[in-house]
Structure 1
């Protein structure tokens, strides 16, 4: 059985890191920015929670209906478009972090999306039960 490599991507002839093309486990990852998390366990944990939080916010923004929008259709559409643009930007950042092929970043993204979905669904179900109880 072949084990996953424990090191970051190898360098090419010019000293530039080559892109990793298979999953690997370890703190020696490059996530989103060159030199980050800098082979430090503390910074790797920070990167893990950062990606987790981004994925959580994406789910929260995708599933939560807008409230208190302006009465003007242009104003309402503008606010919704800005939220959509922000959410899409965050989604691309999470996608790029997962493309580092680091297993920890993949787990952080999946866990963040899952917990975000769970929290939003729980809120919706709880709100639904409150309205059902009020109608009886």
Structure 2
């Protein structure tokens, strides 16, 4: 009688690994601090400090770009350029919206590297973009807050 669950498999070899013999990789599921990470693509930036710095600059710039794409300033530019052609203006706004949403998902995937530096530069990029394009660093000094459909004066911080 077989004492291993009643299956007499004799000398059969175990089934092949679904990973094809590749090495196992540890995936972080908590935030960590360090330059050895993978952001969006396998092996990038890897263990090189310069490439990690480049990745952080890219994440910052991408978050800043997303804030520009979501600003009403761009919407006003698109409306002025399209003039009276409503279909062209609608298509342009739709294309910008699709780019913004797709970019936001891509940035979210970068954050799923669980690297603390990536989180910090993404938040800093969004904050800098909000300051530049929505809170009035360039323009009429009125914050454009999403969700309420009206402009609000940005709070003034004083010492």
State the Cα distance separating 1:74 from its structure 2 match.
1.1
Decide which structure has greater helix share.
1
SS where residue 140 of structure 2 aligns? helix
State the Cα distance separating 1:16 from its structure 2 match.
3.8
State the Cα distance separating 1:17 from its structure 2 match.
2.2
- After the TM superposition, which of the residue ranges 81-90 and 59-68 deviates more from structure 2? 59-68
Is the aligned partner of 1:123 residue 2:131?
no
Q: TM-score scaled by structure 1?
A: 0.78
What is aligned with 2:35? 27
State the Cα distance separating 1:85 from its structure 2 match.
0.9
What is aligned with 1:132? none
Decide which structure has greater strand share.
2
What is aligned with 1:98? 111
- After the TM superposition, which of the residue ranges 64-73 and 96-105 deviates more from structure 2? 64-73
Which structure has the larger Rg? Answer: 2
- Aligned counterparts of 2:120 and 2:27: Cα–Cα separation in 1: 20
TM superposition outliers: structure 1 runs of 4+ over 3 Å: none
- Aligned counterparts of 1:26 and 1:46: Cα–Cα separation in 2: 14
What is aligned with 2:66? 58
Q: How large is the RMSD of aligned CA atoms in angstroms?
A: 1.7
Consecutive unaligned residues in structure 1, runs of 5 or more = 1-12, 128-136
Consecutive unaligned residues in structure 2, runs of 5 or more = 1-20, 143-159
- Aligned counterparts of 1:24 and 1:35: Cα–Cα separation in 2: 17
- Aligned counterparts of 1:64 and 1:124: Cα–Cα separation in 2: 11
State the Cα distance separating 1:123 from its structure 2 match.
1.8
- Aligned counterparts of 2:71 and 2:57: Cα–Cα separation in 1: 21
**What is the number of residues matched between the two proteins?**
115
